[in-house]
Structure 1
Amino acid sequence: MSKIAFLLAGGFEDSEMKVPYDSLKSDGHDTLIIGLKKGEELKGKNGEASYQAEEAIESVKAADFDAVVIPGGSSPEGLRTNESILRFVKELNEAGKPIAAICHGPQILISAGLLEGRTITSYPPLKDDMVNAGANFVDEEVVVDGNFITSRTPKDEPAFIREIKHKLGASVSR
């Protein structure tokens, strides 16, 4: 099975972390919650989920992972200025590994300079930010563009998870 990084800070959208995390973990994937500080307790913005950062971003290597999931909410805003987070995402992208971002998750992709010429979606009010970063924004439940998988909101989670699993199946069978 695949080793999947979940990039997380406090204030994440509870279900956008919990639902994909639980689904991928129950399928047998090796999941690791990566934050800015190992052991830090990270609480969802709605108080429905809480996780502990299992590793700090400085102590992991992108080459050790098969994919990354970036939940939305306020979490991406708390991560997008960290150079190690940006380097991690850039290295996964250079390797062509799946990068799945939902809601505000693509903010990290903006800060990493990865959206030029890509077709994506996100939380709809971020459209101008995505377009200004060079992306072709579409308002759809899930958009797959190469190794990028993006979705808008919690209601899109089933399609988001389906496409992550599809992409992982394709990358595992290579």
Structure 2
Amino acid sequence: MGKDILMIVGDFGEDYEIMVPFQALEMVGHDVDAVCPDKEAGETVKTAIHDFRGDQTYLEERGHNFELTATMADIDPTTYDALVVPGGRAPEYLRTYDAVIEAVQHFFEAEKPVAALCHGPQILAAADVLEGYEMTAYPACRAEVEAAGCSWVDGVVRDGNLVTGQAWPDHPEWLAAFLELLGDEVSHGDPVAADD
């Protein structure tokens, strides 16, 4: 049975970290409401594509327009089963909205599944919900999330209700861990070839 999932996004969130989880979760039967403070359902956020090309940091290019499916001012976080917090540049300002912080705090207080990726844990740190967790984030955010009380682990981490990854290359393992937390059966074997 599909779950109702809230995804908090914003302008210049990472394209793959918004689009891929949104589509993958819907593909397996979950309902995802993508919201952004101060924007309404049907409006869009601009995404950014972050690429890793051997520089000291990622390269950022313009991504797509991603259409919001719900209005943050109209939703009630208590009606959702899980939360997804993508990364990119959006978390640095999304964490300044009281509605975002309050929504995140609800999911942790109720011990509901939360998946955060890349810079998304900046929002969790601002919500003061990381004390005692083992987790990861984009490596440049390590000092910030450790200061919020977590223990750093490299690679995808599941600790209780929280699944974290470092960036979009972690999608296969990160999404599989989140889907398992949601109660979905995930196959970790090789794909089966179709009969010719």
TM-score normalised by structure 2 residue count: 0.83
CA deviation after TM superposition for structure 1 residue 50, in Å:
2.1
Q: How does 1:87-106 map to 2 (within 5 A)?
A: 87-106=102-121
Q: 2:137 aligns with which of 122, 135, 140?
A: 122
Counterpart AA for 1:100: A
Within the alignment, does 1:22 sit opposite 2:23 as a pair? yes
Q: 2:45 aligns with which of 31, 42, 49?
A: 42
Partner of 2:11: 10
SS of corresponding position for 1:49 = strand
Counterpart AA for 1:103: C
Q: 1:75 aligns with which of 57, 67, 90?
A: 90
CA deviation after TM superposition for structure 1 residue 78, in Å:
2.4
Larger radius of gyration: 2
Partner of 1:152: 166
Partner of 2:55: none
Unaligned regions of 5+ residues in structure 1, if any?
Answer: none
- With a CA cutoff of 8 Å and minimum separation of 6, indicate the structure with the bigger relative contact order: 1
Within the alignment, does 1:163 sit opposite 2:155 as a pair? no
- Alpha-carbon RMSD across the aligned residues, in angstroms, is 1.2
Unaligned regions of 5+ residues in structure 2, if any?
Answer: 50-61, 185-196
For each residue in 1:31-55, what CA deviation from the matched residue of structure 2 results, as whole angstroms up to 9, or x when unmatched?
Answer: 1111112143201113333212232
Structure 1 window deviating more from structure 2 (41-50 vs 82-91): it is 41-50
Q: Percent identity?
A: 35
TM-score normalised by structure 1 residue count: 0.93
CA deviation after TM superposition for structure 1 residue 4, in Å:
0.7
Structure 1 window deviating more from structure 2 (35-44 vs 143-152): it is 35-44
